[in-house]
Structure 1
């Protein structure tokens, strides 16, 4: 019997996803005092781990938390594992739940799919945008492996990857995307598609507002993933966003793809590296007692404060 993702993966122990969450939370902290982040509502897919919920509550002091779970057979398990009393569990399909949980309140919504790009093309995104108010933020994560486009069928016949992509995205311009359908290029294309999808939804459903991109992350803890997101903003909230510290935060790159590519380290290796940091000159891989590529050393040095501690429960 195949396992669902939450049963196969401990979401708290993936270093790149772990760091991604922390960078998103760090960005949100930099939106204060322009935005009263503790008063926001956070809506996500907590699953069994609630890793993002722990960070949002602990570091942003958000107490209005809602997790959406569509597998009704796991209701008791979800309720049992929720780490705080202030988390409300909503058992429903996302497209239905998102229609009434936002309630006209400034919100942060993270549609954190572990499935392919097609997962974000089901209407959830548009439903969320339609219910969000200015100042709210939407993030979307999907699998960005190009293999998801291979050997696919439409109307019973196998089609080329570009044809399948154009069909699921309802965008004929993607028929000309063949050169970008590679392992290296597709994540950037997937991020672009998601940003454009959010932008179109905002233009259609939120007159007087625009979509301001904030996040574009690529990472891999096994499979390549992308996360994009930004703010739905009227002119006042757009100006507040630009005046905030988030506008100059290195990890808030707008539409520019930001790679999170950390090495998997043992606890002993992590301790050895930490003893050498911080370092103005940069770590020299030749000084280490174990093998790491220069790119791995550089990546760790950049994010060593965010790198998860072994057994860390924050996620």
Structure 2
């Protein structure tokens, strides 16, 4: 498998960029649980370390752990490490995550390039059974197609029905009702998030069996995203709280975020196709609570609506003439 950083710098993909900015805004509200400077970030930095740089600059996080599995490229990761505060851990996430100290509140973003798999769900379970209250947990997976690749000597099998899903993921992780439509198109994004959410809940049931009343943990869902810079991707984001932190969660203002999603719904990040001049024109009408009142000129309504929804999070584009 080709490492994703050898294909493209994800920091310059507009939908991914917007997702990062929205997540950063969400994570800034974790300060009700404790100083953001005391948080630790855990993620997959790649040679670009885009998330580490963003969260260090925007949130002031100083302790970061970047997990990288391409052992043969360790020297290149070390060379591109932008900050002393980033601790590089080489190895598979399945091996690295259990060995971390989970007593510290953390921001964990498991940002996979691959579709959902049993190994990914093992990582999700690891975090769910170890995370401290106040820890934010974000999981991103590719949601174009699912593949059974457990036999390295055979071509991966496209999982397009419940029987194939059950064969790969096992009985315990297979929903009792699953139709072929749940495994294709954007519906697969919803299915992937649902399976991740169930894995988190199962991990919490395991943890809460040993906790007393008032100490039981829950996962408070905050946001979900879908986008396609290339392949379809989906993300689920939330925070672990104990029963005594419900007031802190409600006081943090997560519900006031424009992208807050509590149920199965996700925000589809549709990047508008606009010229820099068109963006500047729309900016003069924003923010505006009613899209119909925006002076859009000759700009299509669809692109106007997408821009009004995302303009605060999109990258700034510069243009020049030769």
TM-score under structure 2 normalisation?
A: 0.84
Distance 1:149 1:259, change over 3 A: same
Q: Which runs of 5+ in 2 are unaligned?
A: none
Cα distance in 2, alignment partners of residues 278 and 241 from structure 1 = 27
CA distance change for structure 1 residues 123 and 302 in 2, over 3 Å: closer, same or farther? Answer: same
Please give the secondary structure, in 2, of the residue aligned with 1:173. Answer: coil
Moved over 6 A (4+): 150-153, 155-159
Map 1:269-308 → 2, pairs under 5 A: 270-271=279-280, 273-274=282-283, 277-278=286-287, 282=291, 283=294, 285=296, 287-288=297-298, 293-308=300-315
Structure 1 residues 132 and 48: alpha-carbon distance in aligned structure 2, compared to 1, 3 A threshold: same
- Corresponding position: 1:78 with 2:77: yes
Partners of 2:278 and 2:12 lie apart in 1 by 16
1:182 maps to 184
Give how far 1:148 is off.
Answer: 2.8
How has the CA–CA distance of structure 1 residues 233 and 151 changed in structure 2, closer, same or farther, with 3 Å as cutoff? closer
Q: Secondary structure at the match of 2:137?
A: strand
Q: Assess if the C-alpha contact under 8 Å between 1:66 and 1:89 holds in 2.
A: yes
Matches within 5 A, 1:1-315: 3-118=2-117, 121=120, 123-145=122-144, 147-149=145-147, 160-170=160-170, 171-174=173-176, 176-206=178-208, 207=211, 208-255=216-263, 256-265=265-274, 267=276, 270-271=279-280, 273-274=282-283, 277-278=286-287, 282=291, 283=294, 285=296, 287-288=297-298, 293-310=300-317
Compute the displacement of 1:101 (Å).
Answer: 2.2
Over aligned residue pairs, what C-alpha RMSD do you find? 2.9
2:205 aligns to what SS in structure 1?
helix
* Higher RCO, 1 vs 2 (CA within 8 Å, ≥6 residues apart): 1
Residues 216 and 253, structure 1, Cα contact 8 Å, conserved in 2: yes
Size of the aligned set, in residue pairs, is 305
Worse overlay, 88-97 or 202-211:
202-211
Task: Pick closer, same or farther for the CA change 1:216–1:280 going to 2, 3 Å.
Answer: closer
Q: Is the 8 A contact 2:148 2:168 kept in 1?
A: no
TM-score normalised according to structure 1 size: 0.85
Give the Cα separation in 1 of the matches to 2:169 and 2:55.
31
Q: Residues 57 and 163 (structure 1 numbering): CA distance in 2 closer, same or farther, change over 3 Å? A: same
Structure 1: segments with no counterpart, 5+ residues: none
Decide whether aligned partners of structure 1 residues 103 and 248 sit closer, same or farther in structure 2, where only a CA change above 3 A counts. Answer: same
Distance 1:20 1:276 in 2: 23
